Structure 1
Amino acid sequence: MLTALTGVHGDRADAVTVAGRTASYEELLGAARQVAADLAESGIPAFAVTATASLETVAAVVGALLAGVPCVPLPPDAGPAERGHILRDSGARPLDVDFARRSDKTPAPAGVRTPEDPALILYTSGTTGAPKGVVLSSAAITADLDALAEAWQWNAADTLVHGLPLFHVHGLVLGVLGALRTGSRLVHTGRPTPEAYAAAGGSLYFGVPTVWSRIAREPQAAAALAGARLLVSGSAALPAPVFRDIERASGHRIVERYGMTETLITVSGRAGGDLHPGTVGTPLPGIATRVAAEDGAEIGELQLTGPTLFSGYLGRPEATAAAYTEDGWFRTGDIAAVDEKDGVHRIVGRASTDMIKSGGYRIGAGEVENALLDHPRVREAAVVGVPDADLGQRIVAFVVAEAVTGAELTDFVAAHLSVHKRPREVRFVQAIPRNAMGKPQKRLLLDGATPDHT
């Protein structure tokens, strides 16, 4: 899977840089081989890696792949309860990793290894219960990275820059293993600050909406990305104003893509393609999608199938079975619409929180959020549906804004969208709570916000 380490792309002295420390492919491979040897000697069934932004984390993950031992990345800031759950559930054990210790031999994996065997076990965020272990094979990872390399024209001539966490698909699978698959130079900035991105001199940049929003507020940093080839956003919806601000400052239209831990990346815009805010492109090669919409509805649950899907939830056969339809399509739980002409997908939210049924209408929260974000005094917005005796659900908007009233925002949305999509209530908050990947945590919003307008 990691073709850069086979020597096919040569041995760059600055192949991998993480938080200011740089290593060649030879140095990385030597450290990874030592990790593999330590794993072989330990006999542990799975390797728990505290996924800090460091060369040690990169060596640990590569070493686990070389040894054929499933790697379980742990969030560095995980509390005792979360960390304990992951370790108990996976059976993974940690080992010390010293990047200075290197070996020139890779031990043979214990037993026969195939591309379908577990390579990574990534844990979900646990928003609907205890975090579940998502088992990913090297076959699924390889299929996804090759499809993305084609879609984004990603190759060894690129320098990939990002500062994303190394315990998620975006930062680890795409942001580390993708670089080692394509042979592109990797610069991990440690923290994804506008200044760090501006100074990195990359050709390909990965970010989540929070990162791009901060860069958009620093026009000089955004302008410094003008020399890049491609900017990519994912893990949450990119607000349309941020898309336009980045384009105005850098000349680039950001590529949005869609994926989940269970599916890896399945839908994406293309390098050189026709890109528009609020859209995530078309299915990658080998991926088929469909929208399960109720009669007459334009939006419905996105379902898909293809070679990038997970092997299942670790030790949870019932949960794995429930994730699929009777005819074998994976149920994403996300609400989408697909343009009939060009097949471009729009993701309008999660079925559990973002499909709002109000007064007989089906409304995607993301559409209302983008309308609110178009208001010049609104910095952040999150929209939910709450029970209502008359409407079934009423639209409630949580916003971070200054010098504007709820009535003005309601009228603004009604003027931009259909009147039935206007918020019936606006609540002003200091910030929208988000997880490590910038996704709004809407369930946390229903406490502590004061209504301004009903």
Structure 2
Amino acid sequence: MLLRSLHPAAVAAGDDIPDAVTIDGEVLSRSDLLGAATSVAERIARAERVAVLATPTATTVLAVVGCLIAGVTVVPVPPDAGTAEIAHILADSGAQAWLGAAPADATLPVVPVRKHARSWHVYPEPDSGAIAFVLYTSGTTGAPKGVLLSRGAIAAGLDALAQAWGWTAKDRLVHGLPLFHVHGLILGVLGPLRVGSPLVHTGKPTPAAYAAARGTLYFGVPTVWSRIVEDPAAAKELAAARLLVSGSAPLPVPVFERLAALTGHAPVERYGMSETMITLSTRADGERRPGWVGLPVAGVATRLRDEHGEPVPHDGESIGGLQVRGPMLFDGYLNRPDATAECWTEDGWFRTGDVAAIDADGFHRIVGRESVDLIKSGGFRVGAGEIETVLLGHPAVAEAAVVGVPDTDLGQRIVAYVVPRGEPAPELAGELISIVAEQLSVHKRPREVRLVDALPRNAMGKVQKKTLMQPSN
């Protein structure tokens, strides 16, 4: 059973969890969840696919759980999505209705979620190969693609994380992440419902909200952890936790170190994507190394390949395209057979599109995306991510993005865009170039540092490096 902590027999026996989910100021017990979600299932059981406007509310949780009970595929829609994006998601997915809340100009039928309705009908467990979600990518390279995730893949991914993180029903998970992607929805809602640990969703992931939640397990993205370390009083309240987990983007080394100093917990870093869920992670009982995302989780195998498809040595320095295999991978892109075929090798490995290094002990370090973060300069293969890590270690640097721009001599010239903290000293650019040459190597130094007020980002907050690589920049 995918949501095994909601097993009807356990609820019928009176084995309740009074605070199974706390979200948007509402507290739902395990029996509340099962009864109300089963009532939702009765209303949409004949549907194939429905859209859910994924606000951080009890309505969203009940809508998702109701669909999973009934075996109906969920299409989560970002609540801040524009009209064109929503129209694309609805048309591409073939969603038949909105379940719960809907945009003001909704054209599809709207099926309400009644939080106080109850049903105790028992539905058979759907096949593990049934598609549970169509998750849409951020669309950084064209229209968002629908990622097909099966029930079996989700179960395998969550069980692997429970093993890696020692996650049990005794934990209390806290996070304030959006509910329309893998991190906040699948890990952050379905994870506790599978493991049986209570969930506290803080609405917004503020330092004060995290400090007040009294959890044992916390999820956050680097921006959340950066704000927490800037509030030492709030950070120290997390010392009583068991595990702090960071994901969705690389955690700057200074934030890692400051978080460890303030809380006594070196954060767990992990790596994944919509298509793979989480495939790499440091362990609750293992080494946690700043800038590294650890080892493959249970059932996952990885390898590195260069641009010619040849193996890359696992020496911790050589970088190559990361390829993975495992039971938690997606079933393909909806309506995109060509895109699906393109991302798999002939021998069955998924091309992540990310560049990584692996050391002799199997520890992984993600360098960035092959399309924008693998820089070929002067005959060397350089990862933008490792340069950015060094730059972010300087106290005068707030943000950094490194790109390769065309150069007639070097092939690509390494250029760093830096957002300084406060008014920069005149010598900052030269100082940053020297630090990279000293800490990494001379050939990895930026040939130019450009100080800017802000970095271009998309709606998901990801830096748009292709914009920085354009000639006008």
- Please tell me the TM-score bracket, short chain as reference: over 0.9
User: Higher mean Cα deviation, 397-406 or 194-203?
Assistant: 397-406
What's the secondary structure of 2:372's corresponding residue? coil
CA deviations on 1:339-379 (whole Å, 9 max, x unpaired) are 11x10001000000100001111000110000001111111
> Is 1:397 matched with 2:421?
no
What's the secondary structure of 1:390's corresponding residue? coil
> Is 1:375 matched with 2:394?
yes
User: Higher mean Cα deviation, 80-89 or 380-389?
Assistant: 380-389
Q: In the TM superposition, what is the alpha-carbon distance from 1:30 to its structure 2 partner? A: 1.7
Tell me the equivalent position of 1:145. Answer: 158
What's the secondary structure of 2:405's corresponding residue? strand
CA deviations on 1:382-422 (whole Å, 9 max, x unpaired) are 11111111111111111111323322211222222101111
- In 1: Cα distance, 2:461 partner to 2:127 partner: 35
Please tell me the root mean square deviation across aligned C-alpha atoms, in Å: 1.8
Q: In the TM superposition, what is the alpha-carbon distance from 1:436 to its structure 2 partner? A: 6.1
Q: In the TM superposition, what is the alpha-carbon distance from 1:165 to its structure 2 partner? A: 0.6
> Is 1:21 matched with 2:26?
yes
Q: Which amino acid aligns with 1:374?
A: G
Q: Is the 8 A contact 1:36 1:106 kept in 2?
A: no
* Number of corresponding residues: 445
Unaligned runs of 5+ in 1: none
- In 1: Cα distance, 2:137 partner to 2:164 partner: 26
User: Higher mean Cα deviation, 18-27 or 189-198?
Assistant: 18-27
User: Higher mean Cα deviation, 393-402 or 245-254?
Assistant: 393-402
Residues 311 and 326 from structure 1, CA distance in 2 versus in 1: closer, same or farther, beyond 3 angstroms?
same
Tell me the equivalent position of 1:432. Answer: 455
Unaligned runs of 5+ in 2: 101-111
Q: In the TM superposition, what is the alpha-carbon distance from 1:449 to its structure 2 partner? A: 8.9
Q: In the TM superposition, what is the alpha-carbon distance from 1:125 to its structure 2 partner? A: 0.8
Tell me the equivalent position of 2:44. Answer: 39
- In 2: Cα distance, 1:15 partner to 1:345 partner: 35
Q: In the TM superposition, what is the alpha-carbon distance from 1:106 to its structure 2 partner? A: 3.5
- In 2: Cα distance, 1:311 partner to 1:98 partner: 29
- In 1: Cα distance, 2:209 partner to 2:471 partner: 35
Residues 219 and 437 from structure 1, CA distance in 2 versus in 1: closer, same or farther, beyond 3 angstroms?
farther
> Is 1:214 matched with 2:227?
yes
- In 1: Cα distance, 2:295 partner to 2:325 partner: 14
Q: Which amino acid aligns with 1:94?
A: W
Q: In the TM superposition, what is the alpha-carbon distance from 1:17 to its structure 2 partner? A: 0.5
Q: Which amino acid aligns with 1:419?
A: V
- In 2: Cα distance, 1:37 partner to 1:406 partner: 63
Q: 1:13-412 to 2 correspondence within 5 Å?
A: 13-40=18-45, 43-92=46-95, 93-96=97-100, 97-106=112-121, 108=123, 113-293=126-306, 298-340=318-360, 342-401=361-420, 402=422, 403-404=424-425, 405-412=428-435
What's the secondary structure of 2:413's corresponding residue? strand
Residues 125 and 248 from structure 1, CA distance in 2 versus in 1: closer, same or farther, beyond 3 angstroms?
same
- In 1: Cα distance, 2:461 partner to 2:243 partner: 21
Residues 444 and 199 from structure 1, CA distance in 2 versus in 1: closer, same or farther, beyond 3 angstroms?
farther
Q: TM-score, normalised by structure 1?
A: 0.94
Tell me the equivalent position of 2:444. Answer: 421
User: Higher mean Cα deviation, 66-75 or 404-413?
Assistant: 404-413
Q: In the TM superposition, what is the alpha-carbon distance from 1:143 to its structure 2 partner? A: 0.5
CA deviations on 1:232-256 (whole Å, 9 max, x unpaired) are 0111111101000101111110000
Q: In the TM superposition, what is the alpha-carbon distance from 1:261 to its structure 2 partner? A: 0.4
Q: In the TM superposition, what is the alpha-carbon distance from 1:438 to its structure 2 partner? A: 4.8
Tell me the equivalent position of 2:103. Answer: none
What's the secondary structure of 2:368's corresponding residue? strand
Q: In the TM superposition, what is the alpha-carbon distance from 1:444 to its structure 2 partner? A: 3.8
CA deviations on 1:159-188 (whole Å, 9 max, x unpaired) are 000000100000000000000000011000
- In 2: Cα distance, 1:100 partner to 1:59 partner: 8
Q: In the TM superposition, what is the alpha-carbon distance from 1:429 to its structure 2 partner? A: 2.2
- In 1: Cα distance, 2:389 partner to 2:262 partner: 20
What's the secondary structure of 2:371's corresponding residue? coil
CA deviations on 1:16-60 (whole Å, 9 max, x unpaired) are 0112211111111122112111112xx432110000000111001
Q: Is the 8 A contact 2:405 2:469 kept in 1?
A: no
- In 2: Cα distance, 1:180 partner to 1:406 partner: 49
CA deviations on 1:79-113 (whole Å, 9 max, x unpaired) are 0000000000001121333343422234747xx94
- In 1: Cα distance, 2:196 partner to 2:126 partner: 24
Q: In the TM superposition, what is the alpha-carbon distance from 1:425 to its structure 2 partner? A: 1.6
- In 1: Cα distance, 2:114 partner to 2:395 partner: 49
Tell me the equivalent position of 2:104. Answer: none
Residues 328 and 95 from structure 1, CA distance in 2 versus in 1: closer, same or farther, beyond 3 angstroms?
same
> Is 1:12 matched with 2:21?
no
Q: Is the 8 A contact 2:320 2:355 kept in 1?
A: yes
Q: In the TM superposition, what is the alpha-carbon distance from 1:431 to its structure 2 partner? A: 2.7
Q: Which amino acid aligns with 1:52?
A: T
Residues 46 and 81 from structure 1, CA distance in 2 versus in 1: closer, same or farther, beyond 3 angstroms?
same
Residues 107 and 82 from structure 1, CA distance in 2 versus in 1: closer, same or farther, beyond 3 angstroms?
farther
Q: In the TM superposition, what is the alpha-carbon distance from 1:262 to its structure 2 partner? A: 0.5
- In 1: Cα distance, 2:386 partner to 2:173 partner: 31
Q: Is the 8 A contact 1:257 1:265 kept in 2?
A: yes
Q: Which amino acid aligns with 2:449?
A: V
Q: In the TM superposition, what is the alpha-carbon distance from 1:223 to its structure 2 partner? A: 1.1
- In 1: Cα distance, 2:399 partner to 2:218 partner: 23
Q: Which amino acid aligns with 1:422?
A: R
- In 2: Cα distance, 1:203 partner to 1:76 partner: 29
Identity %: 61
